[in-house]
Amino acid sequence: MPSIVIFLIRFVFGAIIGSFLNVVGLRYRSGLTLGGRSACASCARTLKWYELVPIWSYFALRGRCSTCKVRISWLYPGMEILTGLIFATVLPGYWPAFAIYVVIFIYDLRHKIIPDSLVYASIGYALVVRLLFFHSSLADWLAGPVLFALFALGWLLSRGRALGFGDAKLALSIGLLLGASMGLSAIVLSFWIGTAITLPVMFFSMFFSQKKLTMKSEIPFAPFIILGAWGSLLFHLDLFHLTSF
């Protein structure tokens, strides 16, 4: 089967999973169950099946509810596209971990906090994968604890203003899952991504938004860590040349 066909099949499957992860991330700890029909968050109208097709429905509806015309959050197609791309570009063994990471991505973006239950689940999965499926060096086993310690130190010294303690636990999960070379590279990449996204958004908000974003604003960092992890895994990054260590 041609590689482009495999890519498309995995992308579509990932987008469908991403649609479900949207529901999990948006309903998690909200008092709502994962069952029942989806409805517009504004007018509460039950959505038709053709309004729930991943990615396509958002653009077909031009980003608005067909009844009340309220704008639909970009998170819906954004997370479907992201999950589709992740599933299409990484090995299936990583899919469960990144499914959890996508839910963390959504939740942290909306609430600026990482739920313990989600990050602990990702740590547990990373441990199982490293134990059963990888021939790991000492550096690979130490990557998670070292990243955790660095982030925890940043959280302690900044008194939680620069980094959250949830970020430290997420870094532990990333280090265990990706090992030394890709894990450490993922964190460096996450800071690069964070800077590349935050500075333009901050500049834009100064002139075009009523809600100003400044250096003192609370910015969720988990999305950048997760994007960094995906990028590091995708390109097999080894910024510190630790492969042979």
| 220 and 99 co-located in one domain | yes
| 112 and 71 co-located in one domain | no
Q: Cβ(211)–Cβ(222) under 8 Å? A: no
Mean pLDDT (the chain) is 89
Q: Helices (DSSP H) in the chain: which residue ranges?
A: 3-27, 56-60, 75-89, 95-111, 116-133, 138-157, 165-208, 222-235
* Structure-block tokens of residue 178: 């990706």
| pLDDT at position 46 | 80
| C-alpha distances in Å from residue 28, one per residue of 20, 107, 114, 203 | 12, 8, 11, 32
| 113 and 64 co-located in one domain | no
Task: Annotate 3-63 with DSSP letters as a single string.
Answer: HHHHHHHHHHHHHHHHHHHHHHHHHTTTT--S-S--B-TTT-PBPPGGG-STTHHHHHTTT
| 223 and 151 co-located in one domain | yes
| 138 and 118 co-located in one domain | yes
Q: Cβ(174)–Cβ(225) under 8 Å? A: yes
| pLDDT at position 119 | 97
Q: Cβ(87)–Cβ(95) under 8 Å? A: yes
| pLDDT at position 61 | 87
| C-alpha distances in Å from residue 211, one per residue of 201, 202, 231 | 11, 10, 30
| pLDDT at position 212 | 64
| 159 and 181 co-located in one domain | yes
| pLDDT at position 133 | 86
| 161 and 224 co-located in one domain | yes
CA distance 206 to 199: 11
In the chain, the percentage of residues whose pLDDT exceeds 70 is 92
pLDDT at 245 over 60: no
| 85 and 100 co-located in one domain | no
Please provide the size of the chain in residues.
Answer: 245
**Rama region for 133: left / alpha / beta (φ>0; ψ in -120 to 50; rest):** alpha
- Of 60, 89, 118, the one marking the end of a domain is 89
Instruction: Residue 12: name the closest of 80, 62, 74 by CA.
Output: 80
Residue 6's CB is within 10 A of a number of other CB atoms, namely 11
| 2 and 30 co-located in one domain | yes
| 14 and 75 co-located in one domain | yes
Q: Which residue has the higher pLDDT, 242 or 64?
A: 64
| 12 and 118 co-located in one domain | no
Residue 46: strand pairing partners: 39
Q: Which of 25-29, 41-45, 53-57 has the lowest mean pLDDT?
A: 41-45
Residue 39: strand pairing partners: 46
| 32 and 65 co-located in one domain | yes
| pTM summary value | 0.92
Number of domains observed in the structure of the chain? 2
- Of 89, 106, 137, the one marking the end of a domain is 89
Which residue segment(s) compose the domain that 111 sits in?
94-245
CA distance 211 to 34: 33
pLDDT at 209 over 70: no
| pLDDT at position 15 | 97
Summarize pLDDT for 134-174 with one digit per residue, the tens: 888 899 999 999 999 999 999 999 888 888 999 999 999 99
- Of 61, 89, 117, the one marking the end of a domain is 89
